[in-house]
Amino acid sequence: MLRLCSYVDNKKTSLPSYFICDNLILCKDVLSLSNTSVYRGYAILIIMLCHIAGCWNFVGFTPFGGIGVAMFLFLSGYGLNESWKKNGLKSFWKKKVLRVIFPYVLFRMIWLMIDGSILDGSAYFSIVNCSHSSFWYIDYLVRCYIAFYISNKLLNGKYKLLLLLLFAIYSFSCLSSLCAEQAFSFLVGVIVSERKRVIDCVPFRKVCFYNSFLLLLGIGCLALKQLSFMRDLSNTHWFLLCELGIKLPLGMSFMTLLYLMKNMVNSQVIVMFGTSLELYLIHIWLVKYIVKDSVFQGLALIIVSALLAYSFNKMCNYCTNLLVADKRNDNAN
């Protein structure tokens, strides 16, 4: 049967644009490139709020950091799989691995120069061994990329989701607690990409229902975490399981809410914050120097970090493009 679909753009309202198919309202652009840039911008913003509040020993924003990281890993899994489906290995190293490793190593080298430890040979080991440092996220993201690459190349990706599931179980069981509470975020992003055609046909009312479920699940696990008996299990996998129920569900719920209110919350400033990797790196370095005891210091950190990250992002993109162009020229010769 022929399905008649149309597109509705609600520019004059606070509602997002929809597709109408068989009299059902579908949210097909919820993970479009423009929207995911906004999600990344808000993700790094709440991570920065978490770190700023941590300088004041305020625990109210503590969950924000993990929620933001869950959003990043989910979007990384989704975006990487979408890119692989379109371009295969060709874009994997340029757009993903090189995009992460080059800015990180360059930033750490600059950091060593500023700290005056550029001649300290032992300091270079910290660039590689970042799993238990403030840059644990970079370490884990690279591991996710490696697991993704292996799962796609092994047996032509036939058991990709199974292998990524095994990697997620390994992350939960064997890696640090910070990695464990994010163990399934990357995998879920890949699954959503693999099931994109089905998800695109989910009616708007079901999107609202699923979002409500995720929100209640996340808040429920967050409330459970505050109970004394759960605190007593803080060094066990039961506690990490509770953390899993907080981070990813609330991260996905937050992205859905941003989509539903996108005409009110989207802005070019937030998109600029979407240069998330550089902003993540720079604000971690600056937070201990800028934020002391004032709200204005926290605001200053956000502004200074955003400006520096935007410039650093442009420079890194220029350098990586040059590297890829040189490689193509070498291959051509």
pLDDT value for 2? 37
pLDDT value for 77? 93
Q: What is the pLDDT of residues 205-250, one digit of tens each?
A: 888 888 999 999 999 999 999 999 898 888 889 999 999 999 999 9
More confident residue, 271 or 213: 213
Q: Strand 18-21 relative to strand 5-8: parallel, antiparallel, unpaired?
A: antiparallel
Q: Is the pLDDT of residue 1 over 50?
A: no
Query: Could you give the CA distance from residue 71 to residue 42 in angstroms, rounded to a whole number?
Result: 9
Please give the single-letter amino acid code of residue 206. K
3-class SS of residue 22: coil
- Grade residue 10 by pLDDT with cuts at 50, 70 and 90: low
pLDDT value for 164? 95
pLDDT value for 327? 55
Q: What is the pLDDT of residues 51-89, one digit of tens each?
A: 999 888 887 888 999 999 999 999 999 988 988 888 776
Nearest CA-CA partner of 31 in 64, 78, 69, 65: 78
The percentage of the chain sitting over the pLDDT mark of 70, rounded to a whole number, equals 84
**Distance from the Cα of residue 116 to its chain's centroid:** 32
More confident residue, 330 or 322: 322
Helices then strands, counting H and E runs in the chain, come out as 17, 3
pLDDT value for 73? 95
Q: What is the pLDDT of residues 115-146, one digit of tens each?
A: 777 777 777 777 777 766 778 888 899 899 98
pLDDT value for 18? 52
Q: What is the pLDDT of residues 151-175, one digit of tens each?
A: 988 877 788 999 999 999 999 999 9
Side by side, which strands form the sheet with 18-21?
5-8, 18-21, 24-26
pTM of the model: 0.86
